[in-house]
Amino acid sequence: MGRKSIAHIRREQIINGFFKVVAKKGFANASTREITEAAGVSKGVLHHYFIDKEAMVLGVLGHVLETYLAEFTEGLEKRESPTEQMEFFWSWFLDLNRFNMEFSRAWVEFWVLSKTNESIAEALRDCYGQIIGRLAGIIRKGIESGDFAKVDPLVTANTMLASLEGTTMLWVVNPMATPVEAINDKIAELFLNHLKPGQEN
């Protein structure tokens, strides 16, 4: 992999700073001054890359697609069997060092914005669509190989992601009462058992 360009590094700085401020104060209360301070850049540099906060949200979503989904896809390609790929999905998605509270709070803000902003809604649909598409593909491959039960791949993939995102929402709203690691482990266990051959309803 080649070295990152200065432009790429600056965009990452701003996106990371934006994440921190939005996670702490919410989108509506996130000021340009706070974002530049968190990112360690000047206001002029900020506006050179992102004209406004909406553009920053779209930049964050693009960053997630580019960075995290590329990482996810690379991990899948290193594993041959559908079972190994599905186990990797759970270990990857449930990594709270990657998808931590800061990330989750900002992500919930993006859900809210998507109700009134079609560009953000479309970016979220693209992100979720790609994840669901990859999951459904793993499930189809597992059904064909006999590793998985004959379930509906698309319904199962949607339900898996919905279960995880629902837990994220509960965790953000009430972190002290939401044992997120135990819940996520139970979700993974339930779905891995659901996919075992002979478990068809």
Question: CATH 1.10.357.10: which residues of the chain?
Answer: 54-194
Give the global pTM.
Answer: 0.84
Q: Can you tell me which residue has the tokens 């998808």?
A: 99
C-alpha 148/C-alpha 194 separation (Å) is 9
- The pLDDT profile of the chain, 201 residues, written as one tens digit per residue, is 456 788 888 888 898 898 889 888 988 898 989 999 999 999 999 989 888 888 888 888 888 888 888 899 999 999 999 999 999 999 998 888 888 888 899 889 899 999 999 999 998 999 899 999 999 999 999 999 999 999 999 999 999 999 999 999 999 999 999 999 999 999 999 999 999 987 655
Angle in degrees, 0-180, between the axes of helices 53-63 and 6-25, rounded to the nearest 10:
110
Q: Kindly state which CATH superfamily the domain 1-51 is placed in.
A: Homeodomain-like (1.10.10.60)
Domain 54-194 indexed as CATH 3.30.750.200 = no
User: Residues spanned by CATH 1.10.10.60 within the chain?
Assistant: 1-51
- Which amino acid belongs to residue 29? N
